[in-house]
A and B are shown apart, each in its own frame.
Chain A
Amino acid sequence: MVSFLLFHSPNFAGFVVEDVSTIIKESVEATIGGNAYQHNRVNQWTTSIVEQCLSQLSKLGKPFKYIITCVIMQKNGAGMQTASTCFWDNSTDGSCTVRWENKFVYCIVSVFGLAI
């Protein structure tokens, strides 16, 4: 009963897609920027992106659990398709996906926020 009240209190702004989208874009730019796909560095890049996003998101101080996924793909003509489906509470939970690219790589980051 207590948690029900929390979700409807005026201070609970829910999952704000724009804020999360900004956080993601900044962390991808800062990590990959104009670099080309490098097999020996891409591991660090994906780790760095998800970690940076997670630490910025937890700084927002909202009562959410977060799941962040990051995919980096070399541009060489291959086709790729991604889909997600979620079983959650539509009134409080949300997601945000950012598709970024430069001349050499595609980077797709998804953040899912689930209210506690």
Chain B
Amino acid sequence: MEEFNSGEEVVFNPDEISVSVKECIEGVIGGTDYNQSKVNQWTASIVEHSLTHLVKQGRPFKYIVNCTIMQKSGAGLHTANSCYWDTATDGSCTVRWENRTMYCVVSVFAVAVAL
């Protein structure tokens, strides 16, 4: 059986992911205002592009990408995550973005695959 760890990182790197997720968000909703008829496409687009980016890195992880877009209208919003996993190899990263009319919160969870 081939050795997997041939110098490749198996640990989750949140900073790298944070940067690529921000680019995805900017690319999809940067400069737009909240639009109810488009928000569905936006969230789908953001999660798909983020996931494609992550998978391209070719790391031995399963991924879950979650995106929430909320209109700025004074309502309160609170989110929490809890994870039951292997803290040595798994990790998550949350990116908060906003413009004048909306908030966007993207969370990426990466769970190491045992090979």
Given contacts A79-B70, A83-B47, contact A65 B76 (CB under 8 A): no
> Are B90 and A65 in contact, with the CB atoms below 8 A?
yes
B42 near A86 with CB under 8 A, answer no
> B18 contacts the other chain (Cβ, under 8 Å)?
no
Question: Once A and B bind, how many residue pairs between them come within 8 Å at the CB atom?
Answer: 143
Q: A18 in the interface, Cβ–Cβ < 8 Å?
A: no
Task: Please tell me if the beta carbons of A69 and B36 are within 8 angstroms of each other in the complex.
Answer: no
| Chain A proximity of B38: nearest CB distance (Å) | 10
Bitwise, B11-49 to A at CB < 8 A (1) or not (0) is: 000000000000000000000001010011011101110
Inter-subunit contact A82/B43 (CB<8 Å)? yes
Give Cα A93 to B43, complex, Å.
Answer: 22
Specify the chain A residue showing the minimal Cβ separation from B69.
A81
Assess whether A50 is in contact with B64, with CB atoms less than 8 Å apart.
no
Contact sample, A vs B, 30 pairs, CB 8 Å cutoff: A3-B114, A42-B78, A43-B78, A46-B80, A47-B80, A54-B84, A57-B84, A67-B64, A67-B83, A67-B84, A67-B92, A68-B82, A68-B83, A69-B81, A71-B78, A72-B77, A73-B77, A78-B72, A80-B71, A80-B77, A81-B42, A81-B43, A82-B69, A83-B47, A84-B65, A85-B44, A85-B65, A89-B62, A95-B64, A114-B111
